[in-house]
Chains A and B, each alone.
Chain A
Amino acid sequence: MNAVSIAVALAYLLAAAGFVVALHLMNSPATARRGSRLSWLGMIVAVAAALVSVIHDATITTTGWVVLIAGAGGGAAAGLIMARRVKMTDVPQVVSIFNAVGGGAAALVAAGGFVRLAGGDGISTRVMIATVLDVIIGPVTFSGSLIAAGKLQGWVSSAPVVFRGARLVTAALAVIGVGASCYLLAGHDSIPVLILVACAALGFGVTLAMPIGGADMPVVVALLNSFTGIAVAIAGFVIGNGALIIGGALVGASGGILTVLMAKAMNRSILGVMMGGFGTGDSGPAAGPAAGAGASIRSISAEDAAIQLAYASKVVIVPGYGLAAAQAQHEAAELAAVLADHARVFFAIHPVAGRMPGHMNVLLAEANVPYEDLKEMDAANPEFPTADVALVVGANDVTNPAARRPGNPVSGMPILNVDQARSVIVIKRSMGHGYAGMDNELYTDPKTGMFFSDAKAGLAQIIAGVKALVPS
């Protein structure tokens, strides 16, 4: 090892250590931004080291430089524009797209090594195994994440898409992929067969994501994030680079943990999510209030809600998917600010509120709600019994007390104990069902008032009502 390669190796180590410390700093909102910048610094060090190493080895051709600079420049510009322009409600799609290209890049790096070595002295078993794995996992995450992004954006139907013979297609793709992989692993370095594996994997990613409903997307996005991490780590095995192995493994672990957490919070098994066919998508049928299943519900007006809130001394706001869909986070934040003049107000946030893990927190942070006022489920639940009003905005299944009883679709699901508040106001467009497809017993509780309205318009009316009652 000469001096340059030692320095480069140490720089990679420094970058990897930076990633670990950066993730550690993410354990508090106060230090998270510092963590993200440290991670960025680590990335710059690693890229600089790679460039030094490439210049030192002097194997790169002029065309190689042009290709590298043009590709990286174009990609950086595209990434920057997307990250700067995206609305906070659309963040899950963009995260999914960045995830897709990461998986795609890992597969291409592995394929690049294969194409260079094919037909030569032969490829070592280690590189061959890693390459085949990458050319399977990478394209699966690439196409799967793009479909997930399309579903979140509404370009692809967010309802589960299942057609006759879909399972057969999936099985056929799997057989082709596995068969072609075995041929490669048997020591045949054939480029067309590698392309066949990649195409089968791309198709498999599509058939994997298409049948999954919009409601399960948080789980899928987390799972594909984990896949990309593993793909990048495997690319590290192919090119023999520790920074890729460590970085990829960290992401693999992170995505894996989030997948399990999300599945638990949604009361779904990961296998069940992957089998698909669950969840209805963005806009369920907007049935009128009369669609309630016969049980008596109490419908209230914006004025009634405003009066209750104006005289409450402790209010818990429970935001859900409906709030995100209606882009009502600014109204929710304004209401909290108005009420904070005379009452204690905070937000109780279920882990799956929003369209990806923790999404609701980002939306409310964007609306200038201080993070101290965003309480996680475990911190919020003991507060409900002393709350005068629990205001539920566009959340459904995560507030259903039926979850405490066995024998129904939400049984065992962790819920917010909204029913323990002294009174409850629910803002909802209709009596339509949540993703679990069952009635919410909270709505028929005598202390619950239902205010049928769009989240954004309803909150605006309530704010006006409260302002009229409580002159500031």
Chain B
Amino acid sequence: MTTGLMSYIYMFVLAILVGYEVITKVPSTLHTPLMSASNAIHGIVIIGAIITASQAQTTAGYVLAFVAAFFAAMNVVGGYSLTDRMLQMFRKRPGPADHDAGSGHLEEKS
């Protein structure tokens, strides 16, 4: 148990430091999409919901698994689609000659 627990603590602390490094570089222009994107990332809890469902044997267990799966899926799917919806609105100024707004949009889609 000790090695397992210690490696989890290592992961946790290092991930916080990595998160700190990466996120301090995000410009304030993108803070709302960032918050929505990080919101979507904590939807990873859906894996916990899957595992809970796989271990459930009792009515109480099934109810907990159902609500957990509902919440987590809402978090993941909603979070990512909202983030994407916001980010696709951030456009460059249409260039003078090389491309118009339309082609810039296409490029993003590819």
Contact = CB atoms under 8 A, between A and B. Distances in A.
Interface of A: 12, 15-16, 19-20, 22-24, 26-30, 32-33, 35-37, 39-40, 43, 46-47, 50-51, 54, 57, 59-61, 63-65, 67-68, 70-76, 78-80, 82-84, 86, 88, 91-92, 94-95, 98-99, 101-102, 104-106, 108-109, 111-113, 115-116, 124, 126, 191, 221-222, 225, 228-229, 232-233, 235-258, 261, 349, 351, 354, 356-359, 361-362, 365-366, 368, 370-374, 376-377
A362 B49 contact: no
A246 to B, nearest CB: 4
A84 B81 contact: yes
Contacts of A366: 89
* Secondary structure type dominating chain B contacts: helix
Interface string B48-83: 111111111110111011111111111111111111
Contacts, number: 410
A79 B30 contact: no
Contacts of B60: 115, 191
B75 A362 contact: no
B45 A235 contact: yes
4 pairs of A and B residues whose beta carbons are closest in the complex? A79-B78, A358-B31, A253-B19, A71-B69
Contacts of B5: 126, 237
B42 A248 contact: yes
Q: How large, as a class, is the contact surface on chain B?
A: 35 or more
Contacts of B43: 43, 98, 102
A104 B34 contact: no
Contacts of B82: 82-83, 86, 91, 94-95, 98
Contact of B41 (A12, A39, A79, A91): A39
B19 to A, nearest CB: 3
11 contacts: A23-B41, A27-B25, A43-B46, A68-B53, A71-B49, A80-B77, A94-B78, A225-B38, A248-B42, A370-B93, A371-B90
A28 B45 CA distance: 27
A241 B92 contact: no
A76 B38 contact: no
Contacts of B3: none
Contacts of A94: 78, 82
